[in-house]
Amino acid sequence: MTISLDLQNLTRSAMAKSWTISVGGRVYGPYSLEQMQGFHAENRLADHSLVARAAEEQFHPASEDSELALLFQPAAAEAEASAEPAQPHRFGARSDAEPPNEGPAHFVIVADMKSRSITGLEEEIFTLGQAHRFGPQSWVLSSEGSINTIRNALVQKLGKLDTLFIVDAAHDKAAWFNFGPETDTRIRKMWSRPVEHQGTEKRSVRRA
């Protein structure tokens, strides 16, 4: 009986140290504290991200969690930045040190607005350069700004349920926001995978 109670206590303790994340009505996880810290370091966990302890059903902003709130304090962010070694830029991650484009680049922007008006997002897009809306929530943009500069500007116009995907067609880069950890990881792996070009096979065509 004592062993059984000890196992139950250990299980509850482990669950209390793990979190689930709600993105667009879908729940992901559970994730350990180390994983949540990693998501924050990659700008995949924001202070407004909806989280819940593994044993809880009610979601709340990450900034309201007693342990996760420490990640969003300025002192913790500075320590985290100084402790991390310099790494190459990864697609989808923010990089304020990214060099500017040499001349205008062409971007494709796709959004899914569920919690805020699309008007504010579109107005911001048109301030970044010459743009054209070709779909309900899709634009092409010609801008001298970097993909992360554009992403960071547009994210300010998004709500908790809104998603954003940007492609830099000139430099083969992508940036996105609020797709959830699993989708984020899959996009990173696919986008960083080398593209194999296969030769086209010539076929003779018989004419009647």
pLDDT in tens, 159-197: 878 899 999 998 888 888 888 778 888 888 887 766 565
Enclosing H/E stretch for 143: strand 138-143
Among 63, 69, 67, 76, which residue's Cα sits nearest to residue 16? 67
Rounded CA-CA distance 111/122 in Å is: 10
* Nearest Cα to Cα of residue 110 among 167, 191, 149: 167
Please state the domain count of the chain: 2
Q: For the domain that residue 158 is a member of, what is the CATH number?
A: 3.30.70
DSSP string, 6-19: HHHHHHHHHHHTEE
What is the predicted pLDDT for the residue at 82? 46
Alpha-carbon dihedral 110, 114, 120, 123, rounded to 10 degrees: 20
At position 116, the amino acid (one-letter code) is R
Residues of the chain with pLDDT under 70: 1-16, 75-102, 193-208
Note if the pTM is more than 0.85: no
Same domain, 20 and 65: yes
Q: Is residue 125 located within the same domain as residue 186?
A: yes
* 208 within some domain: no
Distance CA 167, CA 6 (A): 52
Query: Would you state the pLDDT for residue 129?
Result: 92
Residue 91 covered by a domain:
no
The reply to whether 42 and 110 lie within a common domain is: no
d(CA 24, CA 77): 26
Range of the domain at 15: 2-83
Asked if residue 112 and residue 67 are part of one domain, the reply reads no
